[in-house]
Structure 1
């Protein structure tokens, strides 16, 4: 059984990011792009993409310059944000799997401590059927307008009370719902927590910037000018569109006079789609840097001093950092992979404990947002039972034992500046070692040149992998 309590104490003076007193707790907005790589921003020196709003935000933010998604695909990373744990611990080893309701989510913890909570945009860590224990409404969100997976033009959404189709661009509608939520509750007696998960820049890339100068011809010549295939034009247009929506949010906060007491934390769910601009080796789907490294900005005007921090961190760190700020305490907290970043942001800590990554142990599961929600809506309107009873719970009540001799997939152990890769496919194992400070593109494998370091990190990685198996088998819930 989950038991969540809230503790109320005075503001400590040691760091700006410390537990806040009940009447001074900030509003919190977590914003996430879908498939935007580290290098896909103007402020990260992309050769042509236009992100003026993110560039402006970066000048006013803590820029986490060595920030990683917990996984190289969407669903697992979202589970890490919700729980502070590596996603395989939560039953989300790949896209389309369901996060177990045994987990305590950041929304549940903040809701219990007095926040009003809302989820807007992409979900992809459970069902959106209200009766499912994996829907947003069952894991801590008071209000929600949610798509199952990526969506684009004229999307179908699930919401508290039913299903709806809205006309317009999915990313714009997602921000519309976020701003409506903030307007509704800004004068209330509870601080606000919103999760805004854009569907962009995931394919099919049919969204376009709104009233952007020269949008009709924007990125028309990327192949001849930059050597990037022209079919990626829609991808970059969607990045510019979501950039506009971030600008809308920041302006709305200022117009509502709540910007100074609101944290906006922006990041992406995995590396980008274009390896040439991913900011590292490879791209989405890979455990190499290009599949994991993503942009990350934390803006809290008047409280956080703008700065750039190169200490590694990842999406699992969002949960413990935010809960500390909000003074929300989770009783019987299962093991976390995330750490509170307050000491790092304050400058009192320069190193982060090692980070584990693991992907490909098992395959993903396809989820077609519009067609599923459309069918659910039509069934409800006709008074018929759900056409997808199997989607209510999937395998969330199963706790199979894992074969401890099978570490299938691609795992990595980052203990800065070292990054060890363990790649197991078809029963064959390959180990690679890189020094990221000297070799950020992971080109020079040092595993044979430094066998002592390789074996030390491999031992630590396997110990962590076994702990992940323990969690996945349900031992954390006993």
Structure 2
């Protein structure tokens, strides 16, 4: 009698546990992989003819490629803080480079954690110590502890996760951030100068061509890390119901790309792979998405509670129908990054509008670019009068207050149409759209300017000066234009 009663109790228990088990089986695992300083079109699947990225190309072929995905900042830590919080950089209180993300901010990782997910992060961190508590495990890699790729702990993290829970992991690479490691021989592919496709705003010197070779090699190394990670998901038997998204935090680490508001700074590669969830494999979508939408998308797919602080919106519907419209505009901002700067941009399907609020300052690139020999080469050529107007743009001061580009006819954003009367209606529309976003998002111009960290020409480190958090008092409003 007791045996029969125990069997009944066991069966009854299993009956009530079945919905929970089923729920865990249907909740997708989520893997977010972030490259460092990799341009959106420096990947094979986006049309680059020579860069070796077989693993990323295969992910896109088996999944979905997003052709109009944009970052909120072309700057490492502000971009990452924006992604994690689902907020525009100026609302994260971490909009300047190397500002820690405050614990007052809500992150999507904690929402997933509350919904029963195991959450982990590995690789480059760059958002401060305090916010690590929003993950169950963080295994940080950086140059100082011997990391070359930032991917050394990715696989260990997946091996350490509890197997009975759905999981979310944030995997961040160092590749392709400077400094390069050109002496390394254990690379998946060795590129040559014959592989280099140089944008027209770079001088085609021997130094630039060789430097791009090293940049390409690091992209291939990132591709190898992604491939090894996906293989481990397959070995663990979880690949079918794991959504893998691969993006970059900003554009390539050269003048005129990283820290700018052009597509080469703000547009990101965006590849999604999810065998169980993407209806039509090998598709692409032209619908505009912003990385600010990742938080809302992840909590929806996980069945987690959302946060009123999230400013993005879920694009989960694109996985079943990539032809649907998601956004009409994507917004991006430029704040302090080694050098003072303040600008805002809106991107539509065809046009980009940029507003340079500190247009008295030149568009000096990031510090890791300015202390590199390619910058010294650029200065030498500029002083000798050997650069054309596009190659010399990082030295221009004052800059135009407004910039407007037709990306269909001018993909490198070389011809500013803001002063062309023919484009005045388009300019006015984008002005108004940006003004509306500024008001709706509570954007602001800082009450004080932040001092530069380096000399803009020599790259020499300047005396350490405190960077106080500026008051948010100089608000935008109607009548800015």
Do they fold alike, i.e. is TM over 0.5? yes
Q: 1:263-278 to 2 correspondence within 5 Å?
A: 263-273=243-253
Instruction: Show the counterpart of 2:456.
Output: none
- Count of residues in correspondence between the two structures: 377
Distance 1:109 1:54, change over 3 A: same
Distance 1:465 1:179, change over 3 A: same
| Segment drifting more, 234-243 vs 416-425 | 416-425
Q: Distance in 2 between matches of 1:415 and 1:176?
A: 38
In our comparison, the structure showing a higher alpha carbon Rg is 2
Which has the larger share of strand?
1
1:296 aligns with 2:273: no
Instruction: Show the counterpart of 1:376.
Output: none
SS of the counterpart of 2:211? helix
SS of the counterpart of 1:43? helix
Distance 1:300 1:454, change over 3 A: same
Instruction: Show the counterpart of 2:351.
Output: 418
Cα shift readout 1:280-320 (whole Å, capped 9, x = no counterpart): xx411110111111211110113213211111212111111
Q: Distance in 1 between matches of 2:240 and 2:54?
A: 21
Instruction: Show the counterpart of 2:131.
Output: 135
Q: 1:153-172 to 2 correspondence within 5 Å?
A: 155-156=144-145, 169-171=147-149
SS of the counterpart of 1:110? helix
Structure 1's unaligned 5+ residue stretches are 1-9, 11-19, 129-133, 157-166, 276-281, 366-406
SS of the counterpart of 2:30? strand
Distance 1:426 1:38, change over 3 A: closer
Instruction: Show the counterpart of 1:245.
Output: 225
Q: Distance in 1 between matches of 2:138 and 2:109?
A: 12
Structure 2's unaligned 5+ residue stretches are 1-18, 199-203, 361-397, 447-470, 474-481
List structure 1 runs of 4+ shifted beyond 6 angstroms: 207-210, 223-226, 471-475
181, 190, 193: which is aligned to 1:221? Answer: 193
The normalised TM-score by structure 1 is 0.72
Shift of 1:186: 5.3
SS of the counterpart of 1:328? coil
The normalised TM-score by structure 2 is 0.71
Distance 1:207 1:231, change over 3 A: closer
305, 310, 317: which is aligned to 1:329? Answer: 305
Q: Distance in 1 between matches of 2:23 and 2:182?
A: 42
Shift of 1:223: 8.7
Shift of 1:359: 0.3
Instruction: Show the counterpart of 2:11.
Output: none
Q: Distance in 2 between matches of 1:209 and 1:186?
A: 35
Q: Distance in 1 between matches of 2:185 and 2:58?
A: 18
Q: Distance in 2 between matches of 1:258 and 1:474?
A: 46
Q: 1:88-237 to 2 correspondence within 5 Å?
A: 88-126=90-128, 128=129, 134-137=130-133, 140-147=134-141, 151-152=142-143, 155-156=144-145, 169-171=147-149, 174-185=150-161, 187-188=163-164, 190-206=165-181, 211-212=186-187, 218-222=190-194, 227=204, 228-237=208-217
Distance 1:320 1:186, change over 3 A: same
1:319 aligns with 2:295: yes
Instruction: Show the counterpart of 1:53.
Output: 55
After superposition, the CA RMSD in angstroms is 2.9
Distance 1:339 1:254, change over 3 A: same
Q: Distance in 2 between matches of 1:438 and 1:339?
A: 30
Shift of 1:222: 4.7
Q: Distance in 2 between matches of 1:196 and 1:57?
A: 16
Shift of 1:22: 4.7
Q: Distance in 2 between matches of 1:285 and 1:452?
A: 28
Instruction: Show the counterpart of 2:40.
Output: 38
SS of the counterpart of 1:425? coil
Instruction: Show the counterpart of 2:411.
Output: 440
CA contact (8 A) 1:209 1:244 kept: no
